[in-house]
Amino acid sequence: MAERLELAEIHQYLDWINVMTYDYAGYWSEKTNFNAPLYATSLPQEPADSLLAEANVHDTIAVYLKGGVPASKIVLGVPFFGKSWKGVAAENDGLYQKNDGLSDIGASWVSVSTVHGEMAHHWDEEARVPWLHDAEAGLWVSYESPRSIGLKGAYALERGLAGAMFWELTGDSASNELLRALLLGLTGE
């Protein structure tokens, strides 16, 4: 998609570019997958195409940088929401499994931190994002935690990006855990 954009030309007319690095998986996904992985994973995915393999924050930002956009004009978009699926198999803790479509259970941090405590919590060390799985109920949730959001903020800082933006505040807890983690990542504290 980015090859259709004249990135080296358009950035000169813009003060910044908000790059939405989320919604990599959703109702259109044949299998469960992460909403906003920081990096690609080495696990085989089907279909094994380059679009799926590059559906992560790092590879998306690399496209803009290779396209000539200065890092100082790139604003990293992060989600304060997630995605959930139903009818998910127990294999691989529900990750990359066929499903019966999106579930209506909440997938934001506020939902995960207050409602879904009984689900099995997992962390993908390669993608650097968490997920939940309830094998008995066949539910699977991709979400953002303070840890994953903090890592995304640190990623923006390390690469000299202009900063970060998020969608949307109501997905955070009442004590603003995600917002605080993003700020700490962006400032290196």
Contact 99, 26 (CB under 8 A): no
pLDDT at 173: 94
Kindly report the CATH class assigned to 2-187: alpha beta
Nearest CA-CA partner of 23 in 74, 63, 78, 72: 78
pLDDT at 118: 82
Please name the residue that has the structure tokens 């993003």.
Answer: 182
pLDDT at 45: 57
Q: What is the pTM of this model?
A: 0.92
Q: What are 167's strand-pairing partners?
A: 79
| DSSP per-residue string spanning 50-116 | HHHHT-SHHHHHHHHHHTT--GGGEEEEEES--EEESS--SGGGGTT-B-SSB-SS--SHHHHHHT-
Q: Going residue by residue through the chain (189 aa), what tens digit of pLDDT does each one get?
A: 566 789 999 999 999 999 999 999 988 888 999 999 999 987 655 544 455 668 999 999 999 999 999 999 999 999 999 999 999 999 999 999 999 999 988 899 988 887 777 899 999 999 999 999 999 999 999 999 999 999 999 999 999 999 999 999 999 999 999 999 999 999 998
Distance CA 152, CA 129 (A): 10
pLDDT digits (tens, 9 = 90+) for 73-93: 999 999 999 999 999 999 999
Structure tokens that stand for 141 in this block: 């949730």
User: What are the sequence ranges of the domains in the chain?
Assistant: 2-187
